[in-house]
């Protein structure tokens, strides 16, 4: 699948899997681990460089392509749709849960993590 095809799926609210998202990012971008935070105030979650890399890549990719919060959550696939939405009282996937609560206001990337590869 091309990047354009993938973005069209996202903008048309078609479900994508986490594996599809990671594959597209790996195919079109070089990744440099960096610290990022997610959430505000006492709910702020600090992710050290190299940890929670899937979330880091997704948030960076979504920022580059100016995706909405809903479109960004779709990139997490079943981690969002099944693990989080079907277990609303759970405490797993804290990056997804914080993003649901705080949206883009809660995301801070310490440095650019994705660069388009050649």
As a whole number, mean pLDDT of residues 97-111 equals 97
Q: Looking at the DSSP assignment, which residues form a beta bridge with residue 115?
A: 30
DSSP 3-state of 46: strand
| Domain tally, the chain | 1
Domain extent at residue 17: 3-116
Angle at 5 between CA 31 and CA 32, to 5 degrees: 5
* CATH number for position 21: 3.20.160.10
Q: Where are the alpha helices (DSSP H) in 1-118?
A: 3-11, 18-28, 53-64, 69-74, 78, 94-102
Q: Residue for token digits 């909405």?
A: 68
How many whole angstroms separate alpha carbon 46 and alpha carbon 40?
A: 10
Could you tell me the pTM of the whole model? 0.96
Q: What percent of the chain has pLDDT over 70?
A: 100
- 16-39 confidence digits (pLDDT tens): 999 999 999 999 999 999 999 999
């Amino acid at each position: 699948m091309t990047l354009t095809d993938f973005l069209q799926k996202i903008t048309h609210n078609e479900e994508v899997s986490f594996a599809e998202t990671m594959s597209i990012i790996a195919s079109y971008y070089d990744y440099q681990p960096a610290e990022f935070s997610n959430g505000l105030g006492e709910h702020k979650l600090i992710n050290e460089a190299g940890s929670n890399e899937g979330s880091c890549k997704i948030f960076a990719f979504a920022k580059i392509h100016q995706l909405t919060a809903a479109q960004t959550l779709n990139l997490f696939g079943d981690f969002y749709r099944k693990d989080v939405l079907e277990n609303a009282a759970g405490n797993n996937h804290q990056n997804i849960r914080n993003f649901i609560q705080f949206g883009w206001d809660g995301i801070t990337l310490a440095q650019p993590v994705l660069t388009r590869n050649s």
